[in-house]
Structure 1
Amino acid sequence: MSAHHPNQFALLGQRRFAPFFWTQFLGAANDNVFKFAFTLMVTYQLQLSWLSPQMAGLVIGALFILPFVLFSATSGQLADKYDKARLMRWVKSLEIAIMALAAAGFHATHVPTLLACVCLMGLHSTLFGPVKYAYLPQQLNERELTGGNGMVEMGTFVAILLGQLAGGVLVDTPVVGPQHVACACLGLAVLGRLTAQAIPASPSTDPALKINWNPVTETWRNLKLARGQLAVFRSLLGISWMWFFGAVFLANFPAFAKEVLHGGPQVASLLLAVFSVGIGIGSLLCELLSRRHVEIGLVPLGAIGMSVFAIDLYFASTGLPPAEGLSVAAFLAQPAHWRVLADLALLALFAGLYSVPMYALIQLRAVPTHRARIIAANNILNALFMIASSVIAGALLGAGLSIPQVFLVVGIANVLVGIYIFLIVPEYLLRFVAFVLSRIAYRFKITHDERIPVSGAAVLVCNHVSFVDAVLLMAASPRPIRFLMDHQIFRIPVLGWLFRLAKAIPVAPQKTDPATYEAAFSTARAVLQDGELVCIFPEGAITRDGTLQPFKGGVMKLVDGMPGVPVIPMALGNLWGSFFSRVEGGKAMVKPLRRGIWSPVSLTVGPAMAAATVTPEDLRERVADLLTSATPAR
């Protein structure tokens, strides 16, 4: 993000984002005004023999989700084939037609018509979803993507909250409530179409695509397509699990408020408000904590928080004193209830930290020509996981578990799911370690990190000061890095395991182990040919006196015959004398807190050099100059 746009809120002043943001905001609000008002009308105002109040919410929810399962694959193809702005305008025009039909249904109190509109609004959201998430990476750069997703996530949950509150108030108006809802829904649809008109063009990424109208075969094809990129596919599963997790809480808020917290309907609305605000705050925090990069190290942090506060919610809501239909004021007057609200808010906040980086990762790494179809696959999985959530939560309640016990089970299950995801895709765990080290153990200031390319091959060259240099470089890079590292470092407990997870390439001196030496450079060159980043520490070993050692010729061997690969010099500053560096007789990691906690260190990234012009002496001089100009964090 440029200096002219210092944070994610500045995007609201730009045409490439603001019209899109308000279009999706108004659409989410309209969905919830309509659905919530209709649900309350069927539950409290109508007496239908064929649709009981107990079943109304379930039927309406199922009808809304059904199109996601049936038509997400088709919608993903449409979003890849056509201009996304044009498609969004078409979808918003469809919304006006649906809401016009719904207005007639409200006016005549014709429930079958309104049920049909629920399904049609589900179709509207199904068509809009892939376009929404595929539009962002076309309009925002890598440094803006996390903030943009955070704004969208925050806006969606605020729109859900406001929509449900407005729907409840409007439908409760005596005599004319349904007519007020009809006018509000139609008005929101028209406003959404007007804002969509201002969305800038977002060209097709695959105009030659032939639409496969068979939803079954195309759904299967999309899932296979997503599986082709392991990190992307695991992120799809991770997001779907988040919706499973969140759906358990959202679906049980009314019963939880009534049966466990002894509150009235307003208390259930308060729980929804607290949850929505928590999600919004967590989503907005992602940009700040990630330093405007796609920082998937936040995902394990989010998973930990989700489990901790879901489990604590069980203990906080157990053994509350009996009461009857507490108002919001009476509910808030009891100190024990504040712990429940804090758990809900923090659980939701960490869910925001968990989901936003995953969405950004999918957008950044999915093949652009197939991006919308992969997001459509995510919508299918989300729908299936939410259906499974309802079935499993219902089975647990039917087996005699209380609602707090269901929350406890889900919190524990989240621990197991997190461990599974982070072990099969270790990049999440590695980024988490790098995130913690660079923000807690050190104050890590990065200068010119925009010089690290977000795509394409490059060789990163850095001085070698400590045993955690590689971890700090992971924290600085928006992409995974493959490190050429001394084979002996793999023998160090914990660090050796960590570097194996990072797929670091072991290298030995040519004189002592020529086979390992040649294999290392062969592997590194193959990595570069695949368009990835490789980092080498040309001093060959960690410095023993804090000074920059002579650079060896490994860089020359690495870039030989690869003139198009840039070489990027970097300098780590102020690490000498820390716990992880060699001091006091050449020993490292022998005196904890040697420099305290949160000591300042720095990384300065220099301009890229053409491979053809690189020499070890010139590279060393460039790194030395960067060290001289480096200033640590304060």
Structure 2
Amino acid sequence: MSQAQANPHAASVAHDDHPNQFALLTQRRFAPFFWTQFAGAANDNLFKFAFTVMVTYQLSVSWLPPSMAGLVIGALFILPFLLFSATSGQLTDKVDKTRMIRFVKNLEITIMLLAAWGFFAASPVVLLGCTFLMGLHSTLFGPVKFAYMPQVLSERELTGGNGMVEMGTFVAILLGQVAGGLLVALPGVGPAYVAVACVGVALAGRAVAQFIPSVPATDPGLVINWNPFSETWRNLKLAHGNIVVFRSLLGISWMWFFGAVFLSQFPSFAKEVLHGNEQVASLLLVVFSVGIGIGSLLCEVLSRRHVEIGLVPLGAIGMSVFAIDLYFASRALPASPIMGLAAFVAQPAHWRVMADLLLLSLFAGLYSVPMYALIQMRSQPTHRARIIAANNILNALFMIASALLAGALLSAGFSVPQVFLFTGIANAVVAGYIFLLVPEYLLRFVAWVLSRCIYRFKVRGDAHIPTTGAAILACNHVSFIDAVLLMAASPRPIYFVMDHRIFRVPVLGWLFRLAKAIPIAPQKEDAATYEAAFERAAQVLRGGDLLAIFPEGGITRDGQLQPFKGGIMKILERAQAEGVQAPVVPMALTQLWGSFFSRIEQGGAMVRPFRRGIWNRVGLNVGAPVAPSAVQPEALRAQVAQLLAAG
């Protein structure tokens, strides 16, 4: 299935139609979907929190003591994710996604009508049953929620769209919990008001869902396997088929593990460590939710409207730093009587705690949104929903594991701040392990830092870089970091053909080996390396990936564009002989000559670090792709020279 077929709405949208992610809320392809998922998340939490408060404070149920109510309700809600995620993923791949969304919203209305009767009758059995059914509702909606977006949003909109949904989800959770707590506490009429609110929100969500445009099935011929256990195993194996995607699923699941530890400990943290009342516990939830929302929205700004997984290591670093600092900020707070919100906020020591919590969750938003976007972009459209279903299964397992671990640590005598410290250190270890397993994250982080913190890097014409299919990127060679800057400009991984001598440069050589760059040597010097480079290049193009070459054959010594060698023609001829039509995209790196990483006429590269000051302007100009049949070295050089002259 082609990109245009899989993404008919996005294919018709120009890259720069929308100034930012908020403009998506004016688009029919996104706005009704956004408000539908917002209403669903709000209703889940309005119902669950109101039920939890009702059991804890208003009902006397011998078989469901208040101390166990939250645990039982949470377990019942998460159980359907383990049982039915695999089936949900299949259904989402098989049927029209809009049809699936409307079915789920109809189901929500039915469940909320049953729950309304449960609230009026004060029946915990009925409400526990509805908790399980609302978990089923969320299980069915999860895959369609994330599989819908790649079909209606372009690559440049995907990060912003995910950021909006992530922000909206946490705001909806917060509003739902606040509304549920306030309504159920109304004397005499609380449960009735909750019942009306739950049904009303469900009806509103269904009404908005009616305006979602039709989005076709990606695998209508799929035969459903109704056995949840065998299909769950098959989904996990399917996800494991793309190792970058699978390890990204593990990375997201770890984020849910990390977040669940903090969210589950807010009540005891507020009471036992911060000496605050229920309002203080609510404030911690508000701060956490606001941080996630801010981090999610920042992703589009920091990624320049691309799927930028270089933000993931940045997010992981921030999560660990502020989780660890939260321990130091809270471990020595003096004992005091339980205080209200005003008294808590009036103490300066508590502002550090709130700042740590805000920044911890902000970086969690930076960590998770690019991972979701990567999974959506890299998964095969025909089974994207099943991959997301596998993610939901892993998320549920990791959240259960987090509850068990936190319980074990607390039982072993750990304090809540020590649990936070342990989680922060564990996050650093796990994140480091993931980034070593999937070096693309680390490489993109290096490229992101270099292009935004060391240089002011501006890309023109990046819409010409293909988002799917094989292509050859042909660029001038000015410095030792040209490849890193090209990585920063492309939303997809690039395989570089590079002079074998650059691999001897300390640090950079290790970095390029990590990037699986292809060393090439002159045929007279090393015939085996020469032939192996062309075979590996052909293999990259056969796989439908991006191949970058520097046709000059080496870094310029005088800042001028050198003659192009004939290696590109050999690559194209071999690709065409194998039936691969790979267009050539001309590129020109500008204003790099004379910088720290380039040679200069009076000496070598990487001497005198501040010879051009700091934060220099550099650029990349990208030209329109050239058909392989029209490529000639001299003509290609002229195109690169023209792009270079454009500055």
TM-score by length of 2: 0.97
Q: Which amino acid aligns with 2:597?
A: F
Following superposition of structure 1 onto structure 2, how do residues 364-443 of structure 1 map, counting pairs within 5 Å?
364-443=377-456
Mapped contact 1:562–1:611 kept (Cα < 8 A): no
Residue 525 of structure 1 corresponds to 538
Does residue 95 in structure 1 map to residue 108 in structure 2?
yes
Mapped contact 1:77–1:372 kept (Cα < 8 A): yes
Mapped contact 1:440–1:597 kept (Cα < 8 A): no
Residue of structure 2 aligned with 1:488, choices 489, 493, 501? 501
SS in 1 for 2:79: helix
Mapped contact 1:279–1:349 kept (Cα < 8 A): yes
Report the Cα distance in structure 2 between the residues aligned to 1:511 and 1:290, rounded to whole angstroms: 43
Report the Cα distance in structure 2 between the residues aligned to 1:135 and 1:4, rounded to whole angstroms: 20
Instruction: Report the Cα offset of residue 113 of structure 1.
Output: 0.3
SS in 1 for 2:599: coil
Mapped contact 2:119–2:191 kept (Cα < 8 A): yes
Q: Which amino acid aligns with 2:451?
A: S
Residue 553 of structure 2 corresponds to 540
Residue 364 of structure 2 corresponds to 351
Residue 375 of structure 2 corresponds to 362
Runs of 4 or more consecutive aligned structure 1 residues displaced over 3 Å after TM superposition:
none
Residue 599 of structure 1 corresponds to 616
Following superposition of structure 1 onto structure 2, how do residues 259-274 of structure 1 map, counting pairs within 5 Å?
259-274=272-287
Residue 172 of structure 1 corresponds to 185
Residue 4 of structure 2 corresponds to none
Does residue 10 in structure 1 map to residue 23 in structure 2?
yes
Instruction: Report the Cα offset of residue 586 of structure 1.
Output: 3.9
Following superposition of structure 1 onto structure 2, how do residues 582-593 of structure 1 map, counting pairs within 5 Å?
582-593=599-610
SS in 2 for 1:316: helix
Q: Which amino acid aligns with 2:111?
A: I
SS in 2 for 1:549: coil
Does residue 444 in structure 1 map to residue 444 in structure 2?
no
Instruction: Report the Cα offset of residue 450 of structure 1.
Output: 0.7
Residue 581 of structure 1 corresponds to 598
Q: Which amino acid aligns with 1:302?
A: G
Residue 221 of structure 1 corresponds to 234
Q: Which amino acid aligns with 2:374?
A: L
Does residue 112 in structure 1 map to residue 125 in structure 2?
yes
TM-score by length of 1: 0.99
Q: Which amino acid aligns with 2:587?
A: M
Mapped contact 2:46–2:177 kept (Cα < 8 A): yes
SS in 2 for 1:560: helix
SS in 1 for 2:18: coil
Report the Cα distance in structure 1 between the residues aligned to 2:321 and 2:276, rounded to whole angstroms: 25
Following superposition of structure 1 onto structure 2, how do residues 548-587 of structure 1 map, counting pairs within 5 Å?
548-563=561-576, 564-587=581-604
Mapped contact 1:544–1:586 kept (Cα < 8 A): no
Q: Which amino acid aligns with 1:292?
A: R
Following superposition of structure 1 onto structure 2, how do residues 38-49 of structure 1 map, counting pairs within 5 Å?
38-49=51-62
Does residue 626 in structure 1 map to residue 643 in structure 2?
yes
SS in 1 for 2:186: coil
SS in 2 for 1:73: helix
Report the Cα distance in structure 2 between the residues aligned to 1:142 and 1:255, rounded to whole angstroms: 42
Report the Cα distance in structure 2 between the residues aligned to 1:584 and 1:610, rounded to whole angstroms: 37
Following superposition of structure 1 onto structure 2, how do residues 491-502 of structure 1 map, counting pairs within 5 Å?
491-502=504-515
Report the Cα distance in structure 2 between the residues aligned to 1:88 and 1:597, rounded to whole angstroms: 51
Does residue 255 in structure 1 map to residue 268 in structure 2?
yes
Report the Cα distance in structure 2 between the residues aligned to 1:2 and 1:535, rounded to whole angstroms: 23
Mapped contact 1:311–1:411 kept (Cα < 8 A): yes
Report the Cα distance in structure 2 between the residues aligned to 1:557 and 1:17, rounded to whole angstroms: 45
Instruction: Report the Cα offset of residue 562 of structure 1.
Output: 3.5
Mapped contact 2:15–2:463 kept (Cα < 8 A): no
SS in 2 for 1:295: coil
Mapped contact 2:558–2:601 kept (Cα < 8 A): no
Once the two structures are superposed, residues 396-435 of structure 1 have per-residue CA deviations (whole angstroms, 9 ceiling, x without a partner) of 0000000000000000000000110000100000000000
How many equivalent pairs are there? Answer: 630
**Aligned-CA RMSD value:** 0.8
SS in 1 for 2:562: coil
Instruction: Report the Cα offset of residue 584 of structure 1.
Output: 4.8
SS in 1 for 2:617: strand
SS in 1 for 2:587: strand
Report the Cα distance in structure 2 between the residues aligned to 1:435 and 1:240, rounded to whole angstroms: 24
Does residue 612 in structure 1 map to residue 617 in structure 2?
no
Once the two structures are superposed, residues 70-118 of structure 1 have per-residue CA deviations (whole angstroms, 9 ceiling, x without a partner) of 0000000000000000010000000000000000000010000000000
Q: Which amino acid aligns with 2:618?
A: V
Mapped contact 2:235–2:387 kept (Cα < 8 A): yes
Q: Which amino acid aligns with 1:125?
A: S
Report the Cα distance in structure 1 between the residues aligned to 2:615 and 2:192, rounded to whole angstroms: 60
SS in 2 for 1:3: coil
Instruction: Report the Cα offset of residue 324 of structure 1.
Output: 1.9
Q: Which amino acid aligns with 1:598?
A: W
Does residue 319 in structure 1 map to residue 319 in structure 2?
no
Instruction: Report the Cα offset of residue 561 of structure 1.
Output: 4.6
Q: Which amino acid aligns with 1:595?
A: R
Q: Which amino acid aligns with 1:439?
A: R
Mapped contact 1:464–1:539 kept (Cα < 8 A): yes
Report the Cα distance in structure 2 between the residues aligned to 1:457 and 1:107, rounded to whole angstroms: 61
Residue 473 of structure 1 corresponds to 486
Instruction: Report the Cα offset of residue 596 of structure 1.
Output: 2.1
Please list every run of 5 or more consecutive structure 1 residues that lacks an aligned counterpart in the other structure.
none
Mapped contact 1:35–1:60 kept (Cα < 8 A): yes
Q: Which amino acid aligns with 1:614?
A: V
Report the Cα distance in structure 1 between the residues aligned to 2:126 and 2:613, rounded to whole angstroms: 67
Report the Cα distance in structure 2 between the residues aligned to 1:369 and 1:548, rounded to whole angstroms: 45
SS in 2 for 1:482: strand
Mapped contact 2:15–2:154 kept (Cα < 8 A): no
Report the Cα distance in structure 2 between the residues aligned to 1:476 and 1:559, rounded to whole angstroms: 23
Once the two structures are superposed, residues 257-285 of structure 1 have per-residue CA deviations (whole angstroms, 9 ceiling, x without a partner) of 00100000000000000000000000000
SS in 1 for 2:589: strand
Q: Which amino acid aligns with 1:497?
A: W
